[in-house]
């Protein structure tokens, strides 16, 4: 197991962002899903040692990440929204980060090419669009090919071609690097995901092998869009069984 949480709680005043989550995340690619405000990002920030648990515990590589530099340098993270100092350039920031981990310019060149940040890497971050910020945050997370990479919404704010590219990059690194990914855009990721965790309302909703929970995930998260056809309204039922809707009459 690369991450283990036991009765993990994080409260912000009266808000119970996480309210007793016990979950184990194995090696491989893990997707964390859940409704807005459910506690996914809070879980991620507890795993990366940004937050300290209110109670309970979380361990990454067997150690608590809070105040633990040894663990923190073993993973890369791309937060959402990405957070950077505004008045440095992308290159300056990546340089500083890479240096702190013992990597040099070649590694910056590699990640800059990988996520296509080269055209704006020497501009100040304050002038970046949300797409540029996303690319820079992904580039940072991949510096040094860490053994674990956390990605919060890696497919948000990028165009369709780039989305495919990001998925390909993750797929290429599968088996060598572990990933924990939060993504509302989950369907294109499913083929490369090993494990799925669903967090909602501060609680663990489900955790399991992707192939075993696929149906449940589809039931929970596939948009059930009502389509008008020939005057009657169709809406797939949560069980996936189509049936007459007396209310539509």
In the complex, which residues of this chain contact ligand ATP (CB under 6 A)? 12, 15, 17, 34, 36-42
State in angstroms the smallest separation of the CB of 203 from ligand ATP: 11
State in angstroms the smallest separation of the CB of 34 from ligand ATP: 5
Residue placing its CB nearer to ligand ATP in the complex, 28 or 38: 38
Residue placing its CB nearer to ligand ATP in the complex, 97 or 186: 186
Whole-angstrom CA distances from 212 to 76, 109, 182, 187 are 28, 40, 19, 15
Residue placing its CB nearer to ligand ATP in the complex, 90 or 202: 202
Residue placing its CB nearer to ligand ATP in the complex, 32 or 136: 32
Exposed, middle or buried by CB within 10 Å (0-12, 13-18, 19+), for 47? buried
Residue placing its CB nearer to ligand ATP in the complex, 16 or 165: 16
State in angstroms the smallest separation of the CB of 248 from ligand ATP: 31
User: How many angstroms separate the CA atoms of 186 and 181, rounded?
Assistant: 9
State in angstroms the smallest separation of the CB of 227 from ligand ATP: 26
Helix (H) or strand (E) holding 7: strand 3-12
Contact criterion met (CB below 8 Å) for 8 and 20: yes
State in angstroms the smallest separation of the CB of 249 from ligand ATP: 36
**Token pair belonging to 236:** 């797939």
Residue 166: how many other CB atoms lie within 10 Å: 21
* Residue linked to tokens 């967090």: 199
């Amino acid at each position: 197991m690369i991450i283990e949480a036991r009765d993990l709680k994080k409260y912000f005043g009266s808000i119970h962002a996480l309210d007793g989550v016990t979950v184990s995340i194995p090696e491989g690619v893990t997707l964390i899903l859940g409704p807005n405000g459910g506690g996914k990002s809070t879980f991620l920030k507890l795993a990366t040692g940004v937050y300290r648990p209110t109670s309970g515990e979380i361990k990454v590589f067997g150690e608590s990440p809070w105040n633990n530099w040894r663990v923190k340098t073993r993973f890369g993270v791309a937060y959402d929204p990405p957070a950077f100092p505004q008045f440095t350039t992308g290159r300056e920031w990546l340089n500083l980060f890479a240096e702190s981990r013992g990597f040099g310019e070649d590694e910056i060149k590699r990640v800059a090419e990988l996520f296509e940040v080269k055209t704006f890497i020497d501009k100040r971050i304050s002038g970046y669009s949300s797409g540029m910020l996303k690319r820079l945050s992904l580039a940072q997370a991949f510096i040094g090919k860490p053994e674990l990479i956390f990605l919060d919404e890696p497919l948000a704010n990028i165009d369709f071609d780039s989305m495919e590219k990001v998925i390909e990059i993750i797929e290429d690194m599968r088996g060598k690097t572990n990933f924990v990914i939060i993504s509302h855009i989950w369907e294109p990721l499913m083929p490369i995901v090993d494990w799925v965790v669903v967090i909602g309302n501060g609680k663990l909703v489900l955790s399991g092998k992707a192939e075993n929970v696929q149906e449940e995930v589809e039931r929970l998260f596939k948009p059930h869009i009502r389509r008008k056809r020939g005057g009657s309204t169709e809406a797939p039922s949560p069980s996936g069984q189509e049936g007459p809707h007396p209310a539509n009459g």
